[in-house]
Amino acid sequence: MESYVLDWVNLLLRWAHVITAIAWIGSSFYFVFLDSSLTPPQDEDLKRQGVSGELWAVHGGGFYHPVKFALAPPKLPTNLHWFYWESYSTWLTGFSLFTVSYLYNAGIFLVDKSRMDWAPATAVAVALGFLVLFWLAYDGICRIFGQRKNGDAIVGALVAVLVCVAAYLACHWFAGRAAFLLVGAMLATSMSANVFFWIIPGQKTMVADIAAGRSVDPIHGKRGKQRSVHNTYFTLPVLFAMLSNHYSFTYSHPDNWLVLIGMMFAGAAIRQFFVLRHGFKLGRNPHPWGYALAGVAMIVWLAVWMRPHSAIDSGATEVRNERAGAQIGYKEIEPILAQRCYACHSDTVQMKNVRVDSAQAVAANAQAMYTQVVVAKTMPLNNATGITEEERQMVKAWFEAGASVR
């Protein structure tokens, strides 16, 4: 019953997280596009009001004319929309989902004893430390170098190094799937922290100064814009990390930290292409295709580098040779299931409401067993029970021979 309730909680949190993330990422992408597409105003009245850029657009059968003021509008509007609940809701639902999916059962989902044999409580503490320490380090880099000459390039380089170090440590300390998700959550936490600690407070200060008739310090807008730009480069790497848990060939690779870094680099490069392409159309930026090609080239290289080899290990080869021409039946795989699978899928524990402790249950779940144990190799989770490649090949031979349970 507990597993059933957790499945419902997981489903609803994931649904809410995706919905709020779409709202946040959508608004972020739109405003980056808007800033890149603004042109100097033609109307003299707009110039007198302090408008620095405008955009004419058509959408949904209507014409839109957004404008951007260089610093502040002549008069503060009565209705002013604030873009922050999208960010906060995304982080809250994401952290709740991470808690339910990984932290709640840290000993199963977070800990990989072949990498780091620590207590679940320790693993949880270290995982939470990733979120906090990365933000503090990233924020410190922005504070120290962000306003210097060539500050954006310095910050970008240092943050890239910081992400690489975090990815290396996470992939060597945690289970692969959890490590990828943790690095994504780390970046997403910094994105939301940028909104909470810098972007919104700066905007509130500007609004308060306008309301009080004081001059507006442009530093608040510059800092907010800087953090907002960082957020847009984090977006595609975060999305990859969140989606990667559905593709075990990424996080189960022996050098999974390189896979994670490579895909995050590809995401950031492709995002840079989209950021610059609007300005290129207006003659402001050089041709951005190089960034897109760099991102695609990285993905292609990773796909070639990670390709599976046709040969299997010697143990599996011996099994195949010994059993050539002989059919593997239920009696051959039952000991494997008892040793490797019953701990989570039996009458006492039924993770995901799946049992494999009887011939009837095995017959009902044969396809899922083949997919998870042989193809994706995601089960046993984090290989907590130590299934061997030889045993996986026996399950494969049993399934391909007809999955008999007699």
pLDDT tens by residue, the chain, 406 residues:
567 788 889 899 999 999 999 999 999 999 999 998 999 999 999 999 999 999 999 999 999 999 999 888 888 888 899 999 999 999 999 999 999 989 988 888 898 888 898 999 999 999 999 999 999 999 999 999 988 888 899 999 999 999 999 999 999 999 888 999 999 999 999 999 999 999 999 999 999 999 898 888 989 989 999 999 999 999 999 999 999 988 888 988 889 999 999 999 999 999 999 988 877 767 777 888 999 999 999 999 999 999 876 544 444 444 444 444 457 888 888 888 888 888 888 877 777 778 888 888 888 888 888 888 887 777 887 777 778 888 888 888 888 888 887 7
Phi, psi (deg, nearest 5) at residue 320: -60, -40
pTM for the structure as a whole = 0.82
Taking alpha carbons only, the member of 213, 212, 267, 278 closest to residue 241 is 267
Let me know: does 106 contact 94? Beta carbons within 8 Å.
no
Q: Which pLDDT value is given to residue 309? A: 67
The Cα 179–Cα 172 span in angstroms is 8
Taking alpha carbons only, the member of 115, 158, 123 closest to residue 139 is 158
Let me know: does 228 contact 199? Beta carbons within 8 Å.
yes
Q: Which pLDDT value is given to residue 324? A: 42
Which tokens sit at 99?
A: 């808690």
Q: In which residue are the tokens 């009837």 written?
A: 360
- Strand runs labelled E in 221-301: none
Q: Is the peptide bond before 380 cis (omega within 30 degrees of 0)?
A: yes
Taking alpha carbons only, the member of 165, 166, 197, 194 closest to residue 182 is 166
Other residues' Cβ atoms within 10 Å of the Cβ of residue 54: 17
The Cα 283–Cα 170 span in angstroms is 42
The Cα 17–Cα 31 span in angstroms is 21
The Cα 349–Cα 194 span in angstroms is 42
Q: In which residue are the tokens 């909680």 written?
A: 9
DSSP state of 245: G
Q: Which long-range contacts (CB under 8 A, 24 or more apart) does 26-33 make?
A: 27/83, 27/86, 28/228, 28/231, 28/232, 28/235, 29/232, 29/235, 29/274, 31/83, 31/228, 32/228, 32/229, 32/232, 32/275, 33/278
The Cα 332–Cα 337 span in angstroms is 10
The Cα 238–Cα 162 span in angstroms is 15
The Cα 158–Cα 107 span in angstroms is 33
CA torsion sign for 107, 113, 117, 123 is negative
Quote the distance between the C-alpha of residue 40 and its chain's center. Answer: 37
Task: Give the angle 400-401-403 at the CA atoms, nearest 5°.
Answer: 85
Q: Which pLDDT value is given to residue 318? A: 47
The Cα 130–Cα 178 span in angstroms is 12
